[in-house]
């Protein structure tokens, strides 16, 4: 009988830290320009520094983190061309995912989308919105849509984009214009989910693209003004 070899604990810890840092980047818990202390991350996650160092190396290779000349690790600050390139790719990939989801979604998947859509809209309607909850609902809605497309490789590609753009998108919702941006997103979400409910791929894609483009215009304006850099270098 063949011997079953257990995975070394170090590899398991490395995967755990990598998943934790990925989630922080995608969810906007980390912001552009923010520096990471390997020791602090290790203490927060409850591991030694070595698994953190390995996870950071993987994220640097994915361009989700960068190492500065002084060896400090930080979340990259995108420039206008870099942000524009990622937005163009997002429109292609995420738009395709929304369009495909409209023809393939199940009733259970649609119900999940509507729940996330309502959670986001509820925060937008609140006199004192919980922006962290809104950001979580926004992320959950988008990935519920992408998951309904039924293409795991596509999800992996989209996650790679959100690793790089998530900190900037989510910080955008947290600034002073957040409530205005949220109101626009609520309308886009309604169009997207409505299209998916009606199995109208073109409508679903149009709603998703309007959501991405609306946020992109606002973020690009801030990037061009150069006001974006200082708040992000915390």
Provide the terminal-to-terminal Cα distance of the chain, rounded to the nearest Å. 56
Distance of CA 11 to the CA centre of its chain: 25
163, 19 in Cβ contact below 8 A?
no
Domain ranges for the chain: 9-74, 80-232
Which class is domain 9-74?
mainly alpha
The span from the CA of 85 to the CA of 167, in Å, is: 16
Check pLDDT > 70 for residue 232.
no
Instruction: Please give the pLDDT value at position 8.
Output: 52
Check pLDDT > 60 for residue 5.
no
Q: For 126-167, what is each residue's pLDDT tens digit? A: 999 888 899 889 999 999 999 999 999 999 999 999 999 988
For 80, half-sphere exposure in the C-beta direction (CA atoms, 13 angstrom radius) is: 10
Assigned CATH for 80-232: 1.20.120.530
Look up the pTM and report it: 0.85
Q: For 89-124, what is each residue's pLDDT tens digit? A: 999 999 999 999 999 999 999 999 999 999 999 999
């Amino acid at each position: 009988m063949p011997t079953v070899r257990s995975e070394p604990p170090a590899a398991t810890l490395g995967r755990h830290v990598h998943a934790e840092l990925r989630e922080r980047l995608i969810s906007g818990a980390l912001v552009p320009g923010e520096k990471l202390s390997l020791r602090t991350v290790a203490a927060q996650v409850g591991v030694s520094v070595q698994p953190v160092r390995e996870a950071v190396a993987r994220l640097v290779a994915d361009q989700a983190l960068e190492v500065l000349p002084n060896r400090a690790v930080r979340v990259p600050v995108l420039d206008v061309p870099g942000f524009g390139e990622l937005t163009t790719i997002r429109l292609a990939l995420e738009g395709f995912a929304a369009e495909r989801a409209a023809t393939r979604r199940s009733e259970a998947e649609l119900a999940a989308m509507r729940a996330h859509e309502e959670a986001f809209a509820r925060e937008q309607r609140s006199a004192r919105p919980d922006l962290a909850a809104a950001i979580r609902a926004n992320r959950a809605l988008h990935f519920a849509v992408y998951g309904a497309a039924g293409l795991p490789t596509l999800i992996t590609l989209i996650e790679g984009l959100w690793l790089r753009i998530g900190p900037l998108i989510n910080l955008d919702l947290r600034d002073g214009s957040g409530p205005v941006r949220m109101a626009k997103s609520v309308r886009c979400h309604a169009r997207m989910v409505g299209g998916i409910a009606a199995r109208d791929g073109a409508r679903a894609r149009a709603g998703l693209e309007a959501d991405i483009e609306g946020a992109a215009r606002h973020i690009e304006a801030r990037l061009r003004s150069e006001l974006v850099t200082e708040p992000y270098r915390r």
